[in-house]
Amino acid sequence: MTTTEIDNKTGLVTQEYKINMGPQHPAAHGVLRLVLTLDGEIIEKVDPDLGYIHRGIEKMTERDTYKQIVHLTDRLDYLSSHINNEAVCLAVENALEIEVPDRVKVIRTIIAELTRLASHQLWWGVMGMDIGALTTFMYAFRDRELINDIMEETCGTRLTMNYNKPGGLMFDIHPNFQKRVKEFIKHFKVSLPEYNTLLSGNVIFKKRLQGIGYMSKEDAIAYGVSGPSARGSNISCDVRKIHPYSAYDRVDFNEILMEGGDSYDRYMVRMKEMEESMKIIEQLVDNIPEGDFETKTAAVLKLPKGEYYQKVESARGEFGVFIVSDGKKSPYRMKFRSPGFANLSILDKISRGHKIADLVAIMSSLDFVIPDIDR
Amino acid sequence: MNAVINYFSEIIGGFKTLLQGMGITGKHFFRAHKEIITQQYPDNRDTLTFEDRYRAQVYMEHDENNEHRCDACQTCEIACPNGSIEIIFDRVVDPETGKKKKVLDKHIYHLGMCTLCNLCVLACPTEAIKMSHEFETAVYDRSELTKALNKPGSKLKES
């Protein structure tokens, strides 16, 4: 319903109206359609409309065996594909009580952190681009390429790696892996301060983000926001700290928390998280224990009857895998708790009263990956 | 008075951050010849190198006698999550033992459905199929994406 108002002083007739943002919008990072209710340039309501990239992955899992399911999770949040794989593998391993070797745990953690770095780099580049700083994209992709090369060498592909399997890894790490990771860390330690000088301190960028899209602590908890977006509102929710999995219990790192809750704080959380990721990788890369890269498992895994849940910290927040098994080779039901979906739900709340141009900034600061939201 | 000082110091501080950003860009502008990372594809097609594990599509290895190692056991067909592999085989009676044995007729591979998850290659007990580095897979018609991996006239390698 549209309402028509007549301004008493000027006699102007104003009308609230609706426009579509997306599904093919360059700032929407994918096929996300937002129905905006506007008063002039001020946002009154945001209605996300999903379904443009729905592939029914949760249904497809009911058809596949547990080993086959892993590769489907690459296609959820494709920027943290390794972390999603890890979640499924950990869930299956816990259900079957398989103890994976220490070597697997450490390698999984290193690659998960590399994935997180690559994801944050891409986010940083695209965030600058959304605001209007086109250069950042080039810087981010220059550095991300190095991670992609490491992935290509060890895992076989650059983005949808499918490197995990229940019980271990697909191959052992490549002999060059440690050397190249160290080279990358050395390179990125120089690049990250450049990122900060180029964008974080930039006065135009700051003005665009500070005070925009304020998310209070209560709201963030009520809407189930997780990951860096929630940590920008001072909520301690890092799964790596609270429920350590893989090798996170043996590394020393800080959980980044910011007080402000606006877009700039969410931005700074991710920038500082990159430093923490590098710290984790540095601690582990020289200490990869010797041993097997897999535990031998049966050709077809059958989970005992019951319900299993495993959560991990993906680059966007808490990613959960919930399996209901009826004892057969495929799950009876498999549910993915994707961080993007919960983070999207708060978009309406925090963008009301802001301008359309700010909506783009808010969306970037929440870091959406649409296939993750719309499975 | 304070407000005026703040106003001007904000402007000066703002200019400083802009110049710092420009400084980074300028540094890379003058160093650009040292750090070229752009690859001139497709001009460098001959010199492109790939990592050993790089996965682009499935292929079947044939030796110089046009012999492969696939004994049509269908393990890859079962391992494939997407149904990208279909094995067509004949049952031939072995003249020595008198038992019926599977003989590969066609190893059909649908590249259009394949997600390159590597499960078939890991499952293969005889290492008959592998991942190749042939990454330029664009074709004019979708039907060209379906191919038989075993070459015409090829047969099982006697081990």
Measure in Å the smallest separation between the Cα of A153 and chain B Cα atoms: 5
pLDDT of residue A324: 92
- Closest residue on chain A to B12 (Cα): A203
**Which of A72, A142, A197 is closest, CB to CB, to B20?**
A197
What gap in Å lies between CA A203 and CA A70, rounded to an integer?
44
| HEC per residue, chain A | CCCEEECCCCCCEEECEEEEECCCEHHHCECCEEEEEEECCEEEEEEEECCCCCCCHHHHHCCCCHHHHHHHHHHCCHHHHHHHHHHHHHHHHHHHCCCCCHHHHHHHHHHHHHHHHHHHHHHHHHHHHHHCCCHHHHHHHHHHHHHHHHHHHHCCCCCCCCCEECCEECCCCCCCHHHHHHHHHHHHHHHHHHHHHHHHCCHHHHHHHCCCCCCCHHHHHHHCCCCHHHHCCCCCCCHHHHCCCCCHHHCCCCCCCCCCCCHHHHHHHHHHHHHHHHHHHHHHHCCCCCCCCECCCCCCCCCCCEEEEEEEEECCEEEEEEEEECCCCCCCEEEEECHHHHHHHCHHHHHCCCEHHHHHHHHHHHCCCHHHHCC
How many contacts does A have with B, using Cβ atoms within 8 A?
Answer: 66
What gap in Å lies between CA B150 and CA B76, rounded to an integer?
14
Token pair listed for A237: 């929710």
Window A:317-336, CB contacts with B under 8 Å: none
Q: In terms of CATH architecture, what is B58-156?
A: 2-Layer Sandwich (3.30)
Residues of A in contact with B78 (CB under 8 A): none
Token pair listed for A241: 């700290």
What is the number of other CB atoms lying within 10 angstroms of the CB of residue A42? 14
Residues A113, A253: contact at Cβ < 8 Å?
no
Mean pLDDT estimate for chain B? 85
Give the burial class of A322: count Cβ atoms within 10 A of its Cβ; 0-12 exposed, 13-18 middle, 19 or more buried: middle
Contacts of A201 (CB under 8 A, 6+ apart): B17, B20, B21
Instruction: Give B50-72 pLDDT, tens digit per residue.
Output: 888 888 888 888 888 888 888 88
Question: Is A300 part of the contact surface with chain B (CB cutoff 8 Å)?
Answer: no
Provide the whole-model pTM. Answer: 0.88
Residues of B in contact with A153 (CB under 8 A): 51, 53
What gap in Å lies between CA B59 and CA B68, rounded to an integer?
11
- Phi (first) and psi of residue A22, to 5 degrees: 90, -170
Question: Is A287 part of the contact surface with chain B (CB cutoff 8 Å)?
Answer: no
What gap in Å lies between CA A67 and CA B80, rounded to an integer?
10
pLDDT at position B140 over 90: yes
Token pair listed for A111: 């690659």
Residues on chain B bordering chain A, Cβ-to-Cβ distance under 8 angstroms: 13-15, 17-18, 20-21, 23-25, 37, 51, 53-55, 79, 81, 115-119, 122, 131
Q: CB A201 to CB B14 under 8 A? A: no
Token pair listed for A336: 């993915």
CA A257 to chain centre: 17
Q: CB A71 to CB B115 under 8 A? A: yes
Residues A116, A147: contact at Cβ < 8 Å?
no
Residues of A in contact with B18 (CB under 8 A): 202-204
- Closest residue on chain A to B14 (Cα): A203
- For residue B48, the 8-state DSSP code is -
Q: Which residue has the tokens 């599977």?
A: B102
**Which of A64, A152, A198 is closest, CB to CB, to B51?**
A152
- For residue B94, the 8-state DSSP code is -
Give me the amino acid identity at B28.
H
pLDDT of residue A205: 85
Measure in Å the smallest separation between the Cα of A139 and chain B Cα atoms: 10
- Closest residue on chain B to A149 (Cα): B51
**Which of A71, A154, A174 is closest, CB to CB, to B81?**
A71
Measure in Å the smallest separation between the Cα of B66 and chain A Cα atoms: 28
Those residues of chain A that have pLDDT short of 50 are 1
pLDDT of residue A322: 92
- For residue B111, the 8-state DSSP code is G
Residues B58, B131: contact at Cβ < 8 Å?
yes
What gap in Å lies between CA A354 and CA A42, rounded to an integer?
6
Give the burial class of A299: count Cβ atoms within 10 A of its Cβ; 0-12 exposed, 13-18 middle, 19 or more buried: exposed
Residue ranges covered by each domain of chain B: 1-37, 58-156
Instruction: Give A49-97 pLDDT, tens digit per residue.
Output: 888 888 888 888 888 888 888 888 888 888 888 999 999 999 998 888 8
Q: CB B115 to CB A160 under 8 A? A: yes
Element (H, E) at B132: strand B129-132
Window A:123-162, CB contacts with B under 8 Å: 135, 142, 145, 152-157, 160, 162
Q: CB B25 to CB A174 under 8 A? A: no
Instruction: Give B81-137 pLDDT, tens digit per residue.
Output: 888 898 888 888 877 777 888 888 888 999 888 888 888 888 888 888 888 888 888
> CA angle, corner A254, sides to A252 and A258, nearest 5?
180
Residues B139-152: what's their mean pLDDT? 87
- Closest residue on chain A to B54 (Cα): A156
Q: CB A201 to CB B17 under 8 A? A: yes
Residues B92, B25: contact at Cβ < 8 Å?
no
Q: CB A152 to CB B117 under 8 A? A: no
Residues A246-272 as b/e (b if ≥16 CB within 10 A, e otherwise) read bbbeebebeebbbebbbbbbbbbbbbb
Q: CB B117 to CB A162 under 8 A? A: yes
